[in-house]
């Protein structure tokens, strides 16, 4: 069964997970240890989508639990968010554009990203967050359909919609924490972006 039909028929997050467990269309699964679908509170008002699981994520079966995840958690905390928060207003849900670790942490191929995209889209439809945050350039390119680099995409609002959504969701792009770990000078702009996100969540 194709990814579009398989993902499109999922009604819940648990259902989507079962369907991914049975999906043999993406070769990344063969080399990965665990499926990394989501971490956090599925009722959260904000959904963060990164790029791909790394080694620690693969071991634990959870997105953003390694060094990038530590910085992402600090970024969330700086605007009062906690992925495990029980209060939907203060919580976050976290996922990626691909759900299995690419071997050696290589960049996912366009084909791998395309194969997982129907599942990402259905995840967004099911969770239906008030705000969508693309973490890093590859996520922003894939979900916002933009060809500019992250430096141009950050700091702005976009509309995210799928054909099945009644209304678009406001979406933005953040610098990836792995990039901020290598380029701490960019944290200044990231902080602006986080405040922009906080302002939007406060009015959502």
Of 139 and 169, the one with the shorter C-beta distance to ligand URA is 139
Q: Could you give the CA distance from residue 159 to residue 72 in angstroms, rounded to a whole number?
A: 23
Residues 28, 108: contact at Cβ < 8 Å? yes
Q: Is 48 in the site for ligand URA (CB under 6 A)?
A: no
Where residue 81 falls (left for φ over 0; alpha for ψ -120 to 50; beta otherwise) is beta
Choose between 69 and 129: whose C-beta lies nearer to ligand URA. 69
Asked if 91 and 85 count as a contact pair (C-beta separation under 8 A), the reply is yes
Q: Which two tokens stand for residue 108?
A: 């996912």
Q: Does residue 53 bind ligand URA (CB under 6 A)?
A: yes
**Among residues 40, 54, 129, 137, the one that binds ligand URA under rule CB under 6 A:** 54
Burial group, residue 173, by CB count within 10 angstroms (0-12, 13-18, 19+): buried
40 in contact with ligand URA (CB under 6 A): no
76 binds ligand URA (CB under 6 A): no
CB of 42 to ligand URA, least distance (A): 17
Q: Are 118 and 76 in contact (CB under 8 A)?
A: no
Exactly one of 52, 76, 120, 132 binds ligand URA (CB under 6 A); which one?
A: 52
Nearer to ligand URA, 102 or 129 (CB): 102
Residue 201 sits in the site that holds ligand URA (CB under 6 A):
no
User: Which residues, including other chains, have CB under 8 Å from residue 12's CB and lie 6 or more apart?
Assistant: 126
- Measured between alpha carbons, how far is 122 from 144 in angstroms, rounded to an integer? 15
Nearer to ligand URA, 57 or 125 (CB): 57
Q: Is 137 in the site for ligand URA (CB under 6 A)?
A: no
Backbone phi and psi for residue 201, each to the nearest 5 degrees, phi listed first: -70, -35
Q: Closest residue (Cβ) to ligand URA?
A: 50
Residues 81-120 vs ligand URA: string with x where CB under 6 A? Answer: ---------------x------------------------
Interacting residues toward ligand URA by CB under 6 A: 50-54, 57, 63-64, 66, 68-69, 96, 178
């Amino acid at each position: 069964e194709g990814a579009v039909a398989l993902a499109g028929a999922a009604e819940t997050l648990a259902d989507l997970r079962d369907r991914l467990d049975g999906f043999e269309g993406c070769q990344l699964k063969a080399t990965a240890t665990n499926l990394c679908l989501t971490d956090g509170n599925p009722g959260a008002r904000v959904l963060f989508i990164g790029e791909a699981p790394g080694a620690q994520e693969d071991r634990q079966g959870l997105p953003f639990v390694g060094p990038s995840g530590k910085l992402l958690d600090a970024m969330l905390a700086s605007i009062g968010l906690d992925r495990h928060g029980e209060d939907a207003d203060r919580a976050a849900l976290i996922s990626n554009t691909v759900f299995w670790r690419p071997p050696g942490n290589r960049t996912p191929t366009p084909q791998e990203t395309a194969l997982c995209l129907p599942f990402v889209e259905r995840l967004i439809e099911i969770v239906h967050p008030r705000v969508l945050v693309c973490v890093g350039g590859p996520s922003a390119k894939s979900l916002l359909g933009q060809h500019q680099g992250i430096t141009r995409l950050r700091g702005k609002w976009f509309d995210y919609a799928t054909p099945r959504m009644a209304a678009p969701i406001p979406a933005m792009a953040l610098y990836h924490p792995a990039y901020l770990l290598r380029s701490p000078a960019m944290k200044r702009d990231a902080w602006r972006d986080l405040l922009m996100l906080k302002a939007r969540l406060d009015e959502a």
